[in-house]
Chain A
Amino acid sequence: MPPVIDLNECIGCGKCVDVCSEDVFFGTKDFGKSIEHKPVVTYPEVCWHCNLCVKACPVAGAIRLRIPLAMSVAYKDGPLGNS
């Protein structure tokens, strides 16, 4: 479940933690103080998938949303009318 952080890419700046109004990263210790302090996703189930953490991140690819299977869009693999 979202968000997913690539700890090798993350620079520990804490921007994602700052912008999250749901505070899914709650409990992240000393974020933004050094590269050693990476965000922890504590409450993933309340994520709104608003993408603001992804937009706030200065490093492309360090954070992304993983859409839960339960939210996968349902669709038809071809035109209508052939049912």
Chain B
Amino acid sequence: MKIETVDADVLCIGGGIAGLMAAIRASELGARVVVVEKGSIGYSGAARMGNDHFWAYVPEAHGPDMRAFIKECMLTQLGPMCSTLSSRVVDTWMERSLEIVKLWEEWGIEMKYQGQWEFAGHSFPGHAMTHLKYSGHNQNIVLLDEARKRGAVAMDRVMAFELLGGAGRVTGALGIDTREDRLVEFQARSVILCTGSTRRLFLGVTPALIGNDTRPFTLTGDGRAMAYRLGAELVGMEMLARHVGNRYFVRSGQGTWIGVFRDPYGRPLGPYVAEPSRRYGDITPEVDKSLFARVMESGGGPVYMDCSGISDEDYEYMRHWLVQEGSAPLLNHLSEEGIDPRKHPIEFMSYNFASIGYIRCNEKGETSVRGLYSAGDESTFGISGAAIFGWVAAENAAAYVGESAAPAFDGENARTEEKKRLIETLQNRMDGTDWKDANIALQQVMSDYAGPVRSAPMLEAGLSHVRRLREKARNTLRAENRWELTRCVEVLNLYDLAELVFVAALERRESRGFHQRADYRMTDPLLNDQVLIVRNVDGKPTATWREKER
């Protein structure tokens, strides 16, 4: 296998919203930028189908008090999602949001509706409107064009899978070509990880259709796994999240629907709206993401999204935003099946649990490793988080590169050779385990032992099993071709993350959110301002509590 060397000041790993925003900003600040993406840049990541909600603070709409706005936002699903972030991170996010909104508008992503700021959905009636409506169907392509205009180099079909460096700093990364027999050694003065969320760790809604998920199949937490192995701190690895959406056709976008969530007798599930509301939608599932699962499990279901009584104008408005949001395939399916949401209430469900857990970053996008930054769903969440922190991380990475302290690549031959041997071994095994077997083995043990019910004996048993499986996977995984090789490398990353989930879940001796311990049933208020950090200490995952930064 040939090794090719690529040199950059700033290497952006992942070509979604965060990676492209980072590439644009670092390039315009004078850095030589490479964006590497295992899929196709412009058509990759969770946002590639579009989006219609952008969390932003717009003073002319929200008033002059940003803190009051943030406080209101924390009442919605944004609250739990921000729980492991410092308030400085959240402040920076909101302080810079309007600047990014205006840039997007300037570049050709419509951030206004009929010439005005438009806010709808994801909000409680009578409270602050949290999300700007925008037309995001073309966002990835627009950002790719802007990155290219500024001279960033886009490299498709290469999966960066290992960071290079040591002694608390990063010097580059290794990537495998997902189609050709080639290893790429990136020599970079700074790296911005932008690899998105972690899927395929827990079983999905349709286990046999591994791609039926709210996020694409290729998002496997690679950035977290790489960062962890190099020594960066991860936070909240024990925590779980779940989405709510259409039953079986797994999609995001619940907040775009205009209607009322009702039981079979027509009774509203939540107290917020009784009739379809264009302005508010129905925020009920955001308050309790497991509500629909409990209703179903207790025999009170199914739960329906009832759009009956919606005006023609509001119905067209909803369809417009569902298209922007990326739900055109769903709308096509409804139309092909003769399903009209105004006449046919559509079932919604609580989807399966998924891992969250972030690479711990400060308000500059810096990780605990020098020269290593992170942005997007691996350190915050959602489109606006990806856009704003991609931008912010790039500013700080470019400044880091400009300082003399940034060391040049000084040779990482041993690491490169070790990883090259791993890749060749996976390719050359004549017989062995296929990636899917190894992935499903992992998903079932995660769902059974680290899912919604946890206890020390279960977590310890699950951890032992995962470690045994990982050893077997390392010794037997076999790739038939480059596509399968990519999947094998992803699965090995997932096994590393699985171990961290167990280690952190064992350390959190309380119940909080979806982390429910049968042996520690209370939420311990003494842990309210603490975060649980996991990091690699001499090859062993170590969990420690730390005071949450202000």
Measured between beta carbons, the chain A residues less than 8 angstroms from B38 are: 21
Q: Are A46 and B210 in contact (CB under 8 A)?
A: yes
Q: Are A78 and B343 in contact (CB under 8 A)?
A: yes
Q: Are A80 and B216 in contact (CB under 8 A)?
A: no
Q: Are A71 and B250 in contact (CB under 8 A)?
A: yes
Measured between beta carbons, the chain B residues less than 8 angstroms from A67 are: 249, 329, 333, 336
Give the residue of B37, B212, B332 whose beta carbon is less than 8 angstroms from that of A71. B212
Least CB distance from A81 to B in Å reads 4
Is B178 in contact with chain A by the CB < 8 A criterion?
yes
Is B345 in contact with chain A by the CB < 8 A criterion?
yes
Chain B residues 331-377 with CB under 8 Å of chain A are 332-334, 336-337, 339, 343-347
Is B544 in contact with chain A by the CB < 8 A criterion?
no
Chain B residues 260-295 with CB under 8 Å of chain A are 262-266
Distance of A75 Cα from B302 Cα, bound (Å): 9
Least CB distance from B335 to A in Å reads 11
Q: Which of A5-13, A32-40, A49-57 interfaces with chain B?
A: A49-57
Distance of A74 Cα from B387 Cα, bound (Å): 35
Least CB distance from B310 to A in Å reads 13
Chain A residues 65-82 with CB under 8 Å of chain B are 65, 67-68, 70-81
Q: Are A83 and B48 in contact (CB under 8 A)?
A: no
Closest residue to A20 on the B side, CB-wise?
Answer: B40
Measured between beta carbons, the chain B residues less than 8 angstroms from A4 are: none
Is B481 in contact with chain A by the CB < 8 A criterion?
yes
Q: Are B216 and A50 in contact (CB under 8 A)?
A: yes
Distance of A74 Cα from B339 Cα, bound (Å): 10
Distance of A21 Cα from B346 Cα, bound (Å): 30
With A19-B43, A27-B483 already in contact, the answer to whether A51 and B210 are too (CB < 8 A) is: no
Q: Are A73 and B339 in contact (CB under 8 A)?
A: yes
Distance of A63 Cα from B544 Cα, bound (Å): 52
Q: Are A83 and B208 in contact (CB under 8 A)?
A: no
Q: Are A46 and B344 in contact (CB under 8 A)?
A: no
Least CB distance from B386 to A in Å reads 16
Q: Are B208 and A70 in contact (CB under 8 A)?
A: yes
Distance of A20 Cα from B218 Cα, bound (Å): 11
Chain B residues 390-417 with CB under 8 Å of chain A are none
Is A18 in contact with chain B by the CB < 8 A criterion?
yes
Distance of A36 Cα from B351 Cα, bound (Å): 43
With A20-B40, A23-B39, A23-B483 already in contact, the answer to whether A46 and B339 are too (CB < 8 A) is: no
Is B247 in contact with chain A by the CB < 8 A criterion?
yes
Distance of A27 Cα from B481 Cα, bound (Å): 9
Chain B residues 413-448 with CB under 8 Å of chain A are none
Give the residue of A43, A73, A78, A79 whose beta carbon is less than 8 angstroms from that of B337. A73
Q: Are B334 and A51 in contact (CB under 8 A)?
A: no
Q: Are A81 and B266 in contact (CB under 8 A)?
A: yes
Is A30 in contact with chain B by the CB < 8 A criterion?
no
Q: Are B211 and A46 in contact (CB under 8 A)?
A: yes
Main secondary structure of the interface of B (DSSP, over half): loop
With A70-B209, A73-B249, A73-B346 already in contact, the answer to whether A51 and B339 are too (CB < 8 A) is: no
Q: Are A23 and B178 in contact (CB under 8 A)?
A: yes
Closest residue to A47 on the B side, CB-wise?
Answer: B211
Q: Are A26 and B483 in contact (CB under 8 A)?
A: yes
Least CB distance from B488 to A in Å reads 14
With A73-B346, A74-B248, A80-B345 already in contact, the answer to whether A52 and B43 are too (CB < 8 A) is: yes
Q: Are A75 and B39 in contact (CB under 8 A)?
A: no
Q: Are B247 and A73 in contact (CB under 8 A)?
A: yes
Q: Are A76 and B43 in contact (CB under 8 A)?
A: no
Give the residue of B43, B262, B329, B347 whose beta carbon is less than 8 angstroms from that of A20. B43
Distance of A68 Cα from B332 Cα, bound (Å): 13
Q: Are A22 and B345 in contact (CB under 8 A)?
A: no
With A26-B481, A68-B209, A72-B249 already in contact, the answer to whether A21 and B40 are too (CB < 8 A) is: yes
Give the residue of B40, B212, B248, B343 whose beta carbon is less than 8 angstroms from that of A19. B40
Measured between beta carbons, the chain B residues less than 8 angstroms from A50 are: 48-49, 216, 326, 329
Is B521 in contact with chain A by the CB < 8 A criterion?
no
Least CB distance from A14 to B in Å reads 12
With A51-B329, A70-B209, A70-B248 already in contact, the answer to whether A78 and B218 are too (CB < 8 A) is: no
With A21-B48, A65-B332 already in contact, the answer to whether A70 and B218 are too (CB < 8 A) is: no
Q: Are A48 and B344 in contact (CB under 8 A)?
A: no
Give the residue of B43, B212, B265 whose beta carbon is less than 8 angstroms from that of A83. B265
Least CB distance from B329 to A in Å reads 5
Distance of A52 Cα from B140 Cα, bound (Å): 12
Is B217 in contact with chain A by the CB < 8 A criterion?
yes
Q: Are B212 and A70 in contact (CB under 8 A)?
A: yes
Measured between beta carbons, the chain A residues less than 8 angstroms from B347 are: 73-76
Least CB distance from B205 to A in Å reads 9
Is B161 in contact with chain A by the CB < 8 A criterion?
no
Is B71 in contact with chain A by the CB < 8 A criterion?
no
- Convert B218-234 into 0s and 1s, putting 1 for each residue whose CB lies closer than 8 angstroms to a CB of A: 10000000000000000
16 pairs from A and B in contact (CB 8 Å cutoff)? A22-B211, A26-B483, A51-B329, A51-B332, A67-B249, A71-B212, A71-B249, A72-B248, A72-B333, A73-B246, A75-B344, A75-B345, A79-B266, A81-B265, A81-B266, A83-B265
Chain B residues at the A interface, C-beta cutoff of 8 Å = 37-40, 42-45, 48-49, 157, 178-179, 206, 208-213, 216-218, 246-250, 262-266, 302, 304, 306, 308, 326, 328-330, 332-334, 336-337, 339, 343-347, 481-483
Q: A67-B336, A72-B249 are known contacts; what are 9 more A-B pairs with Cβ within 8 Å?
A: A21-B39, A21-B44, A22-B217, A23-B178, A48-B216, A49-B211, A67-B329, A68-B212, A80-B308
